[in-house]
Structure 1
Amino acid sequence: MPEPRIVVVGGGHTGLTLALRLQSQLGPDEARITVIDPQPHMTYQPFLPEAAAGSLEPRHVVVPLREALRSSEVLTARVSEIDAQRQRLQLTLCDGQDEEIDYDVLAVVPGSISKALPIPGLAEQGVGFKTIGEAIYLRNHVLSRLDIAASTDDEELRRRLLTFVFVGGGYAGIEALAELESMARYAIRDHSGLREADMRWVLVEAMDRIMPEVSRPMGEYTRGILADRGIEVKLNTTVESFADGHVRLSDGEEFDTGTVCWTAGVKPNPVLEHSDLPRDEGGRVRCSPDLRVDGTRNVFTAGDCAAVPDLTSSDPDAICGPSAQHAVRQARVLADNVVSHLRGAALRDYRHRYAGSVAGLGLFQGAAEVYGIKLKGFPAWLLHRVYHLAKMPTLSRKARIAGDWLMELPFRRQTVALGELHDPRSEFVKAAETRGQPSQRDQAS
């Protein structure tokens, strides 16, 4: 009898944690594990702000799936359709070819993507903060704005270049803003003619507070830290337009900017729109507390894309929030339940009371609230680093990250823009066009 095939859709933190646990619990001939993701690596998103700020080497905050999952099959492909009725998946491979695969057990954990709104100019001006590519692009972009501003005498252009706008006051937006502002404040010392006061950093948040993940006093403390650094925090405010880099806010203020970072919420991965799985009004997959998808026998889900009932809440309709803390713990329960399903044992429910959050706010500054205990400044910053280092998958990545931090002690931060990384063929294309030869870009069009 052929061994059953377990297919994991998604190689993010939830998918990798799930696959690693399945590898450790299943015998070599007990099941075949297949992990499918468009990227060949997992990105540890809590470390993206430090990678953007230059505290961590970008390669060290990603885990190659094939390196970590040596006992599993890894397919670098995009799932284009999930047919739970026929127990079949439609894939689009890297070369554009389509392929179908069958499964015996399916784990749907593709995570979430940035939730963009139909605001004029956002698609042209904005960049998210969910991937390593976005984080490094923002780093290079911010540093290049300093370089250009230091090279021009046009005051209006300089003011535009040195105005940085972040939309979304959750943890992702606050950490990205704080780390990049800290980096820019450090880098501007090497730019003659520029001062820290020349930069303008603006955070726009539609709610009446920032960091809703922690108590209001801790949110106010964080807001105070940002204000002390000259960062403008605009609450109860939305953006009406980014057209042509001109920002128009709901409070009537208007100004120009050269940088827009969008971290205002997430939505479930679009692959769920091409499936026959039941979803709630927010687009997340409906499931029972044991993480089995409603109406199915062999399909499971977890993480940001799943509407997992929160058994610790007094509200019977409450579901777990889309946080890394829940996602990783759900992945472990999901793995145990998949193993139990294969062996005919009883499944267990997911139950976890939210422990709190930790945030880094730039070098030596942080805010944390864990089990009601509040930490500020250096202790919170240190806890942030220790906690996430412990949660980083694989010993190899833990060691590399610790090494990056130790190298910060005797040496200065590296603040250099490598913008050519984003368009490495630009000079080659220019040379071809100068000779009058059509480039491949022209031929393709």
Structure 2
Amino acid sequence: MRKKRIVILGGGFGGVFAGKKLEKLIRHERDKYEIILISKSNYFTYQPMLAEIVGGSVGILDSINSLRSLLPNTSIYVREITEINIANQTITLSPNFSHTDFVVAYDYLLIALGNVADFQSSPSGIAEHSIPFKTLKDTITLRNHLIDVLETAASETRKEVRKKLLTFVVVGGGFSGVEIAAEMNDLIRRKVKKNYKSIHPNEVKIILVHNKKRLVHKELGKSLGEYCGKILKKKGVKLLLERKLQSATPHEAILNDQTKIYTSTIITTSPQKVNPLIETLPLELKEGRVLVDHTLRAVGHGNIFAVGDCAYVPMQSNMGFAPQTAQFAVQEGKCAAKNIIAHTQKKPLKTFHRRNWGMLAGLGHHHAVAELAGGFRFSGFFAWLLWRFTYLFKLPGFRRKVKVMLSWILEGLAPQDLVQLNTIVHEGIRHLHYEKGETVFEQGDIGDYLYVISQGQVEVIVHHDGYDEHIATLGKGEYFGEMAILNQKKRNATIRCLSACDFIAILKEDFEILTTNFSGLKEEFLKTQENRKSSSSEEWKREDREAM
């Protein structure tokens, strides 16, 4: 008899805990079932601990588990999904080390694809100039960035540059935003005091921007939300409530009330959107998520289930819809697993019943808030202990529990050194956004990028004899910055935005590779420069780029 194939899409909370439950349910009937889990990574990330990685309380690998260790009787496919074909009951996976795609058929499908960062609907410049905080990769990037900023600030003597470096902006006051702001604040202030003697702790500014009247307004009650704000303020975090991030540039975070925060670090914990694959499916959607019935089956499809952030899950007794949290994704995954097996055995399916065990949020060293089932609320050190032990208990894998517990103990005895993991390859081409009136670079700066204007206008200004002279106006499709690179000199002019601008910036090293390998390209740049030098017309003045 052919095995029933159950395919799980996604290696997050919903997918992994569904897989674990399925393995348990079929442990005596493995000859009848085949379980496949498809994920773009070969590990499961325990996201509630990511903030502690930034803070140094746990190691980078302490928050992840191998999918093959967690699900020893499940076939793990580490691939990107390119197509979900509901009509043919197939999943197409992207090629890897070849040019041929890979097709997986299914009898039962469990969709647990979760959310992804949504930069398309974000304000201008967010995608280019902010650091998202959601994945392990984001966490490593953020920690490396914070260390890089501190190292630079330690030797920086210019007051304004130093102020920008030591100002950190976190956008979003939900659980993730509150926890990362608290951990960052503890880490930076602790390390500045101990290791960076040239930086005074009062120079450090952590700013948390939230668009509601209080923090964690969705997750916790009013009293605990206000307590979160009180503790963060006591720790030195500045709260900007009822404000939104309107745009971001390399130098500023601009809020909807036109407040400008001079900073080199903007961290975003929102917004999120459902995985784009969901939009392509011929399933009934609600608010972009798969609408499921009380048994977690996609409406109108008997063999398709959905759980977690990509599912719109109704609650019993018309109590609304299940929140998008890890706690409920785990419960949904287990329930879906039971119902899949029940359906194969022609047994009645169970209604999903939400069990709310409470909510916990860490607020840095020895502080947390807790709201337990029944409405019991408390905060402080004992809430912090409960927060830690709850996460330890829920962390999958016995060996991982032991390692995390040892990391916590060692952190108290011998804190981690602040070292970077230089694993990130710098991008040769960057997309940049500047607002009207901002300066792209100043006369006298080093030539590090060639800029191509994809949107907006800039003016070229030369400073001499105490005066600023307007030399040229450049617009969409034009470029600047190449001559400082070609001539190995500093910038001979200032570039200022006349409107909001988007640029494509090519790194100096990559531009030099192009001009070295394509001699004609360099000759064209030099020829254009000579033509401009020899011209004395007004048209030449308008297009002149000698200053760059």
Normalising by structure 2, we get a TM-score of: 0.75
Match of 1:410 in 2: 413
What are the superposed Cα offsets for residues 124-163 of structure 1, whole Å, 9 maximum, x if unpaired? 1112111111011111111211110011101111111111
Q: How far has the Cα of 1:437 moved from its partner?
A: 8.1
Count of residues in Structure 1 that have an aligned counterpart in Structure 2: 431
Out of 250, 275, 282, the residue aligned to residue 276 of structure 1 is 282
Q: How far has the Cα of 1:425 moved from its partner?
A: 11
Could you tell me which amino acid in structure 2 is paired with residue 15 of structure 1?
G
Q: How far has the Cα of 1:313 moved from its partner?
A: 4.8
Gaps in structure 1 of 5+ consecutive residues: 439-445
SS of residue paired to 2:69: helix
Match of 2:324 in 1: 322
Q: Is the 8 A contact 2:192 2:200 kept in 1?
A: yes
SS of residue paired to 1:261: strand
Alignment of 1:184-263 (within 5 A): 184-189=188-193, 190-212=195-217, 213-263=219-269
What are the superposed Cα offsets for residues 147-183 of structure 1, whole Å, 9 maximum, x if unpaired? 1001110111111111111111000111111111111
How far, CA to CA, are the matches of 1:207 and 1:264 in structure 2?
14
Match of 1:305 in 2: 310
Q: How far has the Cα of 1:356 moved from its partner?
A: 2.3
How far, CA to CA, are the matches of 1:416 and 1:88 in structure 2?
45
Larger CA deviation: 214-223 vs 119-128: 119-128
SS of residue paired to 1:240: strand
Q: Does 1:114 align with 2:120?
A: no
How far, CA to CA, are the matches of 2:244 and 2:351 in structure 1?
39
Could you tell me which amino acid in structure 2 is paired with residue 288 of structure 1?
D
Alignment of 1:126-141 (within 5 A): 126-141=130-145
How far, CA to CA, are the matches of 1:146 and 1:377 in structure 2?
30
Out of 336, 356, 380, the residue aligned to residue 377 of structure 1 is 380
Largest Rg, 1 or 2: 2
SS of residue paired to 1:422: coil
Could you tell me which amino acid in structure 1 is paired with residue 244 of structure 2?
T
How far, CA to CA, are the matches of 2:292 and 2:337 in structure 1?
15
Q: How far has the Cα of 1:245 moved from its partner?
A: 2.6
Q: How far has the Cα of 1:268 moved from its partner?
A: 1.2
Match of 1:393 in 2: 396
Q: How far has the Cα of 1:424 moved from its partner?
A: 8.6
Match of 1:81 in 2: 83
What are the superposed Cα offsets for residues 37-76 of structure 1, whole Å, 9 maximum, x if unpaired? 1111111100100111111111121111122222111101
SS of residue paired to 1:421: coil
How far, CA to CA, are the matches of 1:430 and 1:113 in structure 2?
32
Match of 2:339 in 1: 337
Larger CA deviation: 404-413 vs 30-39: 404-413
Q: Is the 8 A contact 1:214 1:356 kept in 2?
A: no
Match of 2:350 in 1: 348
Q: Does 1:98 align with 2:134?
A: no
Larger CA deviation: 22-31 vs 247-256: 247-256
Q: Does 1:175 align with 2:176?
A: no
How far, CA to CA, are the matches of 1:437 and 1:390 in structure 2?
58
What are the superposed Cα offsets for residues 320-344 of structure 1, whole Å, 9 maximum, x if unpaired? 1101111001111111111111111
Q: How far has the Cα of 1:409 moved from its partner?
A: 2.4
Q: Is the 8 A contact 2:82 2:94 kept in 1?
A: yes
Match of 1:443 in 2: none
Q: What is the aligned-residue identity percentage?
A: 31
Q: Is the 8 A contact 2:253 2:266 kept in 1?
A: no
Q: Is the 8 A contact 1:81 1:275 kept in 2?
A: no
Could you tell me which amino acid in structure 1 is paired with residue 259 of structure 2?
E
How far, CA to CA, are the matches of 1:423 and 1:141 in structure 2?
13
Q: Does 1:288 align with 2:293?
A: yes
Could you tell me which amino acid in structure 1 is paired with residue 93 of structure 2?
L
How far, CA to CA, are the matches of 2:178 and 2:114 in structure 1?
21
Match of 1:6 in 2: 6
In structure 2, relative to structure 1, the CA distance for the partners of 1:285 and 1:377 (3 Å cut) is same
How far, CA to CA, are the matches of 2:389 and 2:318 in structure 1?
29
How far, CA to CA, are the matches of 2:122 and 2:220 in structure 1?
29
SS of residue paired to 1:285: strand
What are the superposed Cα offsets for residues 173-229 of structure 1, whole Å, 9 maximum, x if unpaired? 111111111111111121122111101111111112210201011000110111112
In structure 2, relative to structure 1, the CA distance for the partners of 1:102 and 1:385 (3 Å cut) is same
Match of 2:157 in 1: 153
Q: Is the 8 A contact 2:58 2:411 kept in 1?
A: no
Superposition CA RMSD, Å = 2.2
How far, CA to CA, are the matches of 2:382 and 2:45 in structure 1?
26
